[in-house]
Chains A and B, each alone.
Chain A
Amino acid sequence: MSYNNEMIEKYRGNFLKEVTDNVEEGDWVKMCMQCGVCSGSCPLGPHWEHPPQEIFMMIRANKREEVLESTSMWMCTSCYNCIARCPRGLPITHIMHGLATYSRRLGLAPQQQPTAKFAQLFWNNLAKTGRVNELKLGLSLYFMNGFAEGVKTALKMKNIGLNMLKTKRMTPMEMLGGHGCKDAKGLQAILKKAEELENVRIGKSGA
């Protein structure tokens, strides 16, 4: 059975409990009093399919797929305005990150959502050597929607790249290995163990 189906079986009809158990800082969702300050404070507020206040209500109303398949939480810029202003002290930024992580784990996140793709590229990039390779990250971003669009984007971004090169804030040498941790293996072992431990906690088999 897929992880998604397992979770549907386990929490049938109680999405709030599912979020409380499996989403980072998810136990805070019940504290929301629906004032809407978060939604009104978000720099990308108008672009959310469902702004944070609505997401919290939808979780309590068992709108499981509507929440997890939504592009909403991928609009979070991590500006922390909502956290600073929430009268109930909800760690909203972290809950949004947690919902994003959870929707990916379940395989429900929208496949073409650009931030979902970029955030995965970022993680893969840093996990490889322990440090971000900005050049490879940039190129993988340009080409994340296929070769043809990648060439188009790369051309559009050409001047920015040249400016970065000119001011020595980028180097082609990063293509050949580049910066990284000496003990990248140790770091990867830490990450692997952390993932295993977390999977046990949220009832996800390692497979």
Chain B
Amino acid sequence: MAKKSYSFYPGCSSQKAASSSNYQVSVDTMCKELDIELNEIPDWNCCSASIGYAGGGELPRLALSARNMALSEQAHAGQDIVATCAACWLATKETQERLHTNPDLLAETNTALAEAGLKLNNDKNIRHMVEVLIEDIGYEELGSHVKKPLEGLKIAGYVGCQTNRPFGIDGESFENPKYLDKMIETVGAEACDSYEKKVSCCGGALAFSEPEKSQALIKDIIESAYDNGADMIVTPCPVCQMNTEVYQDQINAKYGTKFKMPVVYYSTLLSVAYGKSAKEAALDGQIIRAKQLEDIAGK
């Protein structure tokens, strides 16, 4: 397949030594294998991630994403914007939609952008990396690169919220999207097809401000993975990954559970299945180590 090029919005948590820097490492590995070129939007900024609303009103929040889109238009004409973070994708896509349907807001946004010499045409597609994989590459091509099928692994596909609602992936249902399960099967593992917490909320940013309420939600997400016989959870979202991985000790202490469930990204799975090393798949970024994937990567 010919090289595919995109204007890439990595987002704050993907930066070096940030909370989902491991996601970025595995995405880079996966994209290299699939001949996907990611051109970073020059000097991109934070999207305010569905939690900026205490300090930022509607227009300032829209202006944040609009700046990224304007910079992308300037630097990468004709390329779709692609984000790996669910919140980055959602905030950008929402901005695009809001400004499409409201010309007054678009005019005001452009007045604000002009302060930094920028202008938004708002004519780009805003896409999540999983859309690129499914729609532009396709399951068949994704499968054809597999060198080490993840045989014998049972994996719970935790889709979460923001890659699923309100936009979601074309052709998928909000209540039971199948694309993550299909990806799991594409790399030779078994998907937990009755994973009932697949699209439940982990608390999102409220895991920080309302830890007890959020951890009660997280507990159910992990418990359901165990109930379905999962060896690990896979997710497309940095907040889902972090919330379901890092609080397991605190949840164990509070609820008397014995959780030790690895939570990985789809890009980690693909990288391992594509025969890449543990380091290239960013398995060293796991706080709860994914030993079975380490074994496969080490073979």
Task: Give chain A's interface residues, CB within 8 Å of chain B.
Answer: 24, 43-44, 47, 75, 77-81, 83-85, 91, 93, 97-98, 100-101, 104-105, 109, 114-120, 122-124, 126-127, 130-132, 134, 138, 141, 159-160, 163-164, 166-171, 173-174, 179, 181-183, 186-187, 189-195, 197-198, 201
- Quick check: B21 and A169 within 8 Å, CB to CB? yes
| Nearest CB of B to A121, in Å | 8
- Quick check: B204 and A78 within 8 Å, CB to CB? yes
The interface residues of chain A lying within 8 Å CB-to-CB of B53 are: 97-98, 100-101, 119, 123
- Quick check: B209 and A117 within 8 Å, CB to CB? yes
The interface residues of chain B lying within 8 Å CB-to-CB of A187 are: 45, 64, 67, 116
- Quick check: A169 and B20 within 8 Å, CB to CB? yes
Decide yes or no whether B72 CB sits under 8 A from chain A: no
- Give the docked Cα–Cα distance between A163 and B263 (Å): 14
- Quick check: A118 and B112 within 8 Å, CB to CB? no
Interface centre among A79, A98, A160, A187 (most CB of B within 10 A): A79
- Quick check: B59 and A84 within 8 Å, CB to CB? no
How many chain B residues sit at the interface, stated as a range, is 35 or more
| Nearest CB of A to B215, in Å | 12
Which 8 A-B pairs have CB atoms at the shortest separation, nearest pair first?
A123-B55, A186-B116, A119-B54, A80-B165, A78-B50, A171-B17, A79-B201, A118-B209
| Nearest CB of A to B57, in Å | 5
The interface residues of chain A lying within 8 Å CB-to-CB of B171 are: none
- Give the docked Cα–Cα distance between A98 and B201 (Å): 21
- Quick check: A195 and B59 within 8 Å, CB to CB? yes
Decide yes or no whether B161 CB sits under 8 A from chain A: yes
- Quick check: B210 and A114 within 8 Å, CB to CB? yes
- Give the docked Cα–Cα distance between A86 and B127 (Å): 24
Of the residues A81, A115, A124, A193, contact of B112 by C-beta under 8 Å: A193
The interface residues of chain B lying within 8 Å CB-to-CB of A118 are: 51, 54, 205, 208-209
- Quick check: A191 and B161 within 8 Å, CB to CB? no
- Give the docked Cα–Cα distance between A163 and B287 (Å): 6
The interface residues of chain B lying within 8 Å CB-to-CB of A174 are: 17
Known contacts A134-B12, A198-B60; decide if A80 and B166 are in contact (CB<8 Å).
yes
- Quick check: B112 and A83 within 8 Å, CB to CB? no
1/0 contact string of B201-236 vs chain A (CB within 8 Å) = 101111011100110010000000000000000000
